[in-house]
Amino acid sequence: MENFIVTTARNPDINQENSAAEIAQRLGGKFVPREDLSFDIMKKIYGAENILLVKKNSVSVVTAEGELFFHPNTAHLRIKNLRSGEGDRLIDALKISAGSTVLDCTLGLGSDALVESFVVTDSGKVIALEVNKLIAEVVRHGLKNFNDDSPHIIEAMRRVEVVNIDCRDYLNTCADNSFDVVYLDPMFRKPIHSSSGLNPIRPLADARPLTEEIIREACRVAKFRVVMKEHSGSEEFARLGFKIADGGKYSSVAFGIIEI
C-alpha cells in the first residue's frame, strides 16, 4: 500500500480542505492540514513517502522525484496530427477507429488513453486501468476537470473511464472477446532516463514485468489484437510472443502485436 498523506496548498479555502479530507478517506490515507510546513518537513513528521496535494483546480502527487500532475502533454499534438490526416504509431498498431472498444491496462499519465478516446469517439469506449491509487486519482481528476480550448480534446478526456485496479485482477473478470483490443504499456525493463517528464511517476509506477499469464488473459479478452509498447530491441517482445510492428525505425520505443 502506498505510504502517503493528503494535504492542500498553502492558505486553502474550505472547499479545498473538504475535498482533501474526502479524498483521504476514500483512498485510505490521512488528511493533514498544510499550515506553513514544507513538503520535506511534512514527510518527516508523518513518515510519508508521498504527498497527495489538493489545489484549487487540480490534484497532484509530490514524490521523491518531483511533482506528478495531469496534463495532456504530447496527446494534444498527437490529436492535432490525427485531425490533420497524419498517422499515429500507437493508433496504427491498435488499428482502432470510431466505435472501437479499448482496454488500456496501464493508464500511467493518461496520454495514450486520451488519444485512444479521441479516435474511438463517443460511439466507442476506453477503459483505462491503473494499479497505483495515487496515479489513478491524479489522472482521473485531471481527465474530468482539466480545461482546454479544444472541445474535441475535452470530450475525449471526459469519456475515458479510469479504474484503480491491477490489470491481472480486471482481466480475470472480463468475458471472452469483450474488448476489440487490449493495450499494455508496462514500465520498460530498460528505462529511458532521458524522458525526464516521467521521473515523478517512477517511484509510484508498477515495476513488475508482464507475465505469460497476463498475455494469455489479454488474448482471451481481446477480439482482434493485443498490443504492447516497449523499448526498441527489448527481449520482452520475444519472451511474451509479440511480433514487432513496422515503422518507427529511429524511435526508442516499439510496438509489439499479437493477432487473435
Provide, rounded to the nearest whole percent, the portion of the chain with pLDDT above 90: 81
Please answer whether residues 105 and 183 qualify as being in contact, where contact means their C-beta atoms are separated by less than 8 angstroms: yes
Give residue 247's pLDDT.
60
Give residue 92's pLDDT.
96
Q: What is the mean pLDDT of residues 155-184?
A: 98
- pLDDT tens sequence across 48-98: 999 999 999 899 999 999 999 999 888 999 999 999 999 999 999 999 999
- Residue 216: left if φ>0, alpha if ψ -120 to 50, beta else—which one? alpha
Give residue 243's pLDDT.
96
- Residue among 148, 182, 189, 150 at smallest CA distance from 167: 182
Please answer whether residues 113 and 94 qualify as being in contact, where contact means their C-beta atoms are separated by less than 8 angstroms: no
Give residue 198's pLDDT.
67
The CATH code that applies to domain 74-259 is 3.40.50.150
Q: What is the mean pLDDT of residues 166-170?
A: 97
> Mean pLDDT: which of 17-31, 193-207, 238-252 is highest?
17-31
Q: 125 CB contacts (<8 Å, ≥6 apart)?
A: 101, 102, 159, 161
pTM of the model: 0.93
Q: Strands across the sheet with 4-8, in order?
A: 30-31, 4-8, 50-54, 59-63, 66-69
SS3 4: strand
Q: What amino acid occupies position 258?
A: I
Question: Which of the pair, 169 or 196, is modelled with greater confidence?
Answer: 169
- pLDDT tens sequence across 194-237: 444 567 788 888 889 999 999 999 999 999 999 999 998 899 99
- pLDDT tens sequence across 97-129: 999 999 999 999 999 999 999 999 999 999 999
Q: Domains of the chain: which residue ranges?
A: 4-56, 74-259
Q: Strands across the sheet with 222-231, in order?
A: 161-163, 125-129, 101-104, 179-184, 222-231, 253-259, 243-244
Q: What is the mean pLDDT of residues 256-260?
A: 97
